Chains A and B, each alone.
Chain A
Amino acid sequence: MTTRRFAWLRRLWSLSTGRFGLIVVLLIGLTALVARFWTPFDPQRVDVANRWDAPGIPHLLGTDGSGRDILSLLMAGARTTVWVALGAGLVATLLGLFLAALGALTTRGVREVVAVLVDILIAFPVLLIAMMLSSVWGGSLWVVIVSVGIGFGVNIARVTRPELRRVLHSDFVLAGRASGLTPFQNLWRHLLPNVAPVFIVQLSWGMAVAVLAEAGLSYLGFGAPVTEPSWGLLLKDLQTYISVHPLSVVWPGLAITLTVLGLNLLGDGLREATDPTLSRRARAARPDTPQPAVVS
């Protein structure tokens, strides 16, 4: 049983893109975890004597305009990134599954209203939602999490709903009902495991959007507060000195790009690895559908 349950993981690992994505995402997660307890230097320690140190020993990636160690700032920033990605993922999951269930399991009237609403909401750019919320509550990481969660929850709902309906009308769900499973048991044993692949793929892409949105909004001043380490804020800080110290700007950008690329490729890989309807041959011949629009 165990081997079958984890077969998708082996398929994911056998894809070069999936493997790359998985490694990068695990690495970022691990960095965030380590940074919780240890960074080479205190990321917020100001050390005027060592302003703009070039990369080397002891500051591997150099220091910024107030002598803060850039590597430590990046590690601490990974914590913020992971936290926003997970938070936005959770909000998107709850909202997406709720809307999908509402659109698949209820009466026809409700279903159509939900479908139209989802179609309309999907046109709203995440950044505009975030700015709308910021103008009332001020910018914060919560605003980023909620707005990406809403924006991507709608996306998840749109993709998951038809899948949920398909599974709902399948023979094994009917058989489950006939053999006396309660609706909840049926949902847990048959519906969710069959919808999960579609949904996890979306989630991975949604988290990539969350990372980009956090960076963009923190750069604009509507994300992380200045006391919080964040890759977007670091870009904003370093931009002021871009003509004198262009190299330092490279690092936070690379960190963001790598994380987003990792999540995107993990999503691509998961989609290939978990799709049971496709044989290997068909998989090779099928053109890849592009990911949804990435914001900021």
Chain B
Amino acid sequence: MIRYALTRLALLLLGLFVASALIFVTLRVLPGDVAQLIAGMNSTPAQVAAIRDRLGLDEPLPVQYLSWIGGVLRGDLGTSLLTGSSVADELVQKGQVTIPLGLLSMTIAMLVALPFGVISAMRRGHADGTAINVAAQTLAAVPVVWAGMMLVVVFAVWLGWLPAQGFPRGGWSDPGLAFRSLLLPAITIGVIEGAMLMRFVRSATLQATGQDFVRTAAAKGLTRNQALVRHGLPTVGLSIISVLGLQVAGIIVGAVVIEQLFSLPGIGRMLVADVGARDLPKVQGELLVLTGFVLIVGFVVDLVHRAIDPRQREAE
């Protein structure tokens, strides 16, 4: 286990290095003159020089990279060119919207995927099982933006149950109101992600029904469904853990689009605004945090999977 953990940790560190290098090369090296790009066409040479000075663009590239990474390791993700505020501070502040949104979406995705995935596998070949499967296929093809719009039409415009847009100015000081404004966005991401996750659950459940230990349990007198639920479902749980990393990436991407649609002041919407304004130092920090997060989740998921799956432990 320790040997595996160390190898996996090395892969994570390598991944973080490759990610940061790619971001650095794309945002600092490929554009040519970054300062000119940021300042725009109508800038004076003095303005360009000021930006170059602030970003330390006159240093050699490896020095620039190392000073960026050195800052990141000390918790300094850089400062915004436009507002001068700290990127780390802004991420923490916007995270108060995005992190609850992500957790809520994840919960909804699980609530959709687990029961429906197992049912559609157990009822394979029956009308209800097929209907669930067709619905999941279709939902997995729906663009998140449009799903959000349709939910707004039904639950905000027609029924008037939930707010169509926005987040309370006071943030979580009024938890009920804040929660209500996150509900529709989270349902949107959760249902679409859940439909995709459902296909994994279904596939894993079908695989479990064919396992020897499920057949043995059935041979010892359990019904087929009892055997599946008692002995098969734990393996389904394991395979779901293994795709959790993919889910987190899906939810981050969903949040970028959905925060825009629902005007939520979260990390995704901030990233969209910063990319539009070409605030490159800020985009650089944000992208590193998001991709780093996806990589770290993948690392943790792999370790947890390894630790709790007896088959993987025995393989050593």
Binding site for B on A (CB under 8 A): 116-117, 119-121, 123-128, 131-136, 208, 212, 215-216, 219-222, 232, 235, 239, 242-243, 246, 249-250, 252-253, 256-258, 260-261, 264-265, 285, 287-291, 293-296
Q: How many A-B residue pairs have CB under 8 A?
A: 160
Q: Is B245 an interface residue (CB 8 A)?
A: yes
Q: Is B252 an interface residue (CB 8 A)?
A: yes
Q: Which residues of chain A are within 8 angstroms of B200 by Cβ–Cβ distance?
A: 290
29 A-B residue pairs with CB within 8 Å: A120-B18, A120-B19, A120-B295, A123-B295, A125-B294, A127-B256, A131-B287, A132-B27, A133-B26, A135-B278, A136-B26, A215-B145, A216-B144, A219-B257, A246-B157, A249-B149, A253-B143, A253-B150, A287-B207, A287-B210, A288-B199, A290-B200, A290-B202, A293-B196, A294-B140, A294-B250, A295-B250, A296-B143, A296-B257
Q: Which residues of chain B are within 8 angstroms of A260 by Cβ–Cβ distance?
A: 141-143
How far is A257 from B143 in the complex, measured between Cα atoms in Å? 7
Q: Is the CB of B249 within 8 A of A123?
A: yes
Q: Is B307 an interface residue (CB 8 A)?
A: no
Q: Which of B58-66, B87-95, B178-186, B269-277 makes up part of the contact surface?
A: B269-277
Binding site for A on B (CB under 8 A): 11, 14-15, 18-19, 23, 26-27, 30-31, 37, 121, 137-138, 140-146, 149-150, 152-153, 157-158, 164, 196, 199-200, 202-203, 206-207, 210, 245-246, 249-250, 252-254, 256-257, 260-261, 271-272, 274-276, 278, 280, 283, 287, 290-291, 294-295, 298
How far is A285 from B124 in the complex, measured between Cα atoms in Å? 11
User: Which residue on chain A has the smallest CB distance to residue B133?
Assistant: A288
Q: Which residues of chain A are within 8 angstroms of B249 by Cβ–Cβ distance?
A: 123, 125, 293
Q: Which residues of chain B are within 8 angstroms of A119 by Cβ–Cβ distance?
A: 11
- Please name 10 further chain A to chain B contacts, defined as beta carbons within 8 Å, in addition to the given A235-B146, A253-B149, sorted by A numbering: A120-B14, A123-B249, A123-B295, A127-B253, A128-B290, A132-B27, A249-B146, A256-B143, A257-B142, A257-B146
Those 8 A-B pairs whose CB atoms lie nearest each other, nearest first = A287-B206, A253-B146, A290-B199, A261-B141, A260-B141, A246-B153, A135-B275, A120-B15
Q: Is the CB of B141 within 8 A of A117?
A: no
User: Which residue on chain A has the smallest CB distance to residue B32?
Assistant: A136
Q: Is the CB of B153 within 8 A of A242?
A: yes
Say whether, besides A128-B291, A219-B145, A136 and B37 are in contact (CB < 8 Å). Answer: yes
Say whether, besides A133-B26, A287-B202, A264 and B196 are in contact (CB < 8 Å). Answer: no
How far is A127 from B23 in the complex, measured between Cα atoms in Å? 14
Say whether, besides A246-B153, A264-B137, A123 and B257 are in contact (CB < 8 Å). Answer: no
Contact of A239 among B19, B149, B252, B271 (CB under 8 A): B149
Q: How far does the Cβ of A128 sit from chain B's closest Cβ, in whole Å?
A: 6
Q: Which residues of chain B are within 8 angstroms of A212 by Cβ–Cβ distance?
A: 143
How far is A295 from B158 in the complex, measured between Cα atoms in Å? 29
Q: Which residues of chain A are within 8 angstroms of B157 by Cβ–Cβ distance?
A: 242-243, 246
Q: How far does the Cβ of B188 sit from chain A's closest Cβ, in whole Å?
A: 12
User: Which residue on chain A has the smallest CB distance to residue B152?
Assistant: A242
Q: Is the CB of B144 within 8 A of A290?
A: no
Q: Which residues of chain B are within 8 angstroms of A295 by Cβ–Cβ distance?
A: 250, 253
Q: Is the CB of A135 within 8 A of B152?
A: no
Q: How far does the Cβ of B120 sit from chain A's closest Cβ, in whole Å?
A: 11
Say whether, besides A246-B153, A249-B153, A257-B146, A132 and B141 are in contact (CB < 8 Å). Answer: no
Q: Tell me whether chain A's interface is mostly helix, strand or loop, or mixed.
A: helix
How far is A264 from B140 in the complex, measured between Cα atoms in Å? 9
Q: Is the CB of B203 within 8 A of A287?
A: yes
Q: Which residues of chain B are within 8 angstroms of A133 by Cβ–Cβ distance?
A: 26
Q: Which residues of chain A are within 8 angstroms of B287 by Cβ–Cβ distance?
A: 128, 131-132
Q: Is the CB of A221 within 8 A of B276?
A: yes
Contact of A220 among B153, B272, B295 (CB under 8 A): B272
Q: Which residues of chain A are within 8 angstroms of B18 by Cβ–Cβ distance?
A: 117, 120-121
User: Which residue on chain B has the smallest CB distance to residue A208?
Assistant: B141
Q: Which residues of chain B are within 8 angstroms of A243 by Cβ–Cβ distance?
A: 157, 164
Q: Which residues of chain B are within 8 angstroms of A132 by Cβ–Cβ distance?
A: 23, 26-27, 283, 287
Q: Is the CB of A235 within 8 A of B149?
A: yes
Q: How far does the Cβ of A149 sit from chain B's closest Cβ, in whole Å?
A: 15
Q: How far does the Cβ of A173 sit from chain B's closest Cβ, in whole Å?
A: 32
How far is A293 from B26 in the complex, measured between Cα atoms in Å? 25
Q: How far does the Cβ of B118 sit from chain A's closest Cβ, in whole Å?
A: 13
Q: Is the CB of A125 within 8 A of B207?
A: no
Q: How far does the Cβ of B257 sit from chain A's closest Cβ, in whole Å?
A: 5
Q: Which residues of chain B are within 8 angstroms of A265 by Cβ–Cβ distance?
A: 137
Contact of B245 among A117, A123, A257 (CB under 8 A): A123
How far is A221 from B141 in the complex, measured between Cα atoms in Å? 21
User: Which residue on chain B has the smallest CB distance to residue A133?
Assistant: B26
How far is A220 from B150 in the complex, measured between Cα atoms in Å? 18
Q: Is the CB of A293 within 8 A of B153?
A: no
Q: How far does the Cβ of B182 sit from chain A's closest Cβ, in whole Å?
A: 19
How far is A90 from B91 in the complex, measured between Cα atoms in Å? 37
User: Which residue on chain A has the smallest CB distance to residue B282?
Assistant: A135
How far is A215 from B143 in the complex, measured between Cα atoms in Å? 8
Q: Which residues of chain A are within 8 angstroms of B144 by Cβ–Cβ distance?
A: 216, 296
Q: Which residues of chain B are within 8 angstroms of A232 by Cβ–Cβ distance?
A: 143, 145
User: Which residue on chain A has the smallest CB distance to residue B295?
Assistant: A123
How far is A37 from B275 in the complex, measured between Cα atoms in Å? 36
Q: Which residues of chain A are within 8 angstroms of B142 by Cβ–Cβ distance?
A: 253, 256-257, 260
Say whether, besides A134-B275, A216-B257, A116 and B14 are in contact (CB < 8 Å). Answer: yes
How far is A243 from B249 in the complex, measured between Cα atoms in Å? 31
Q: Is the CB of A123 within 8 A of B294?
A: yes
How far is A294 from B203 in the complex, measured between Cα atoms in Å? 17
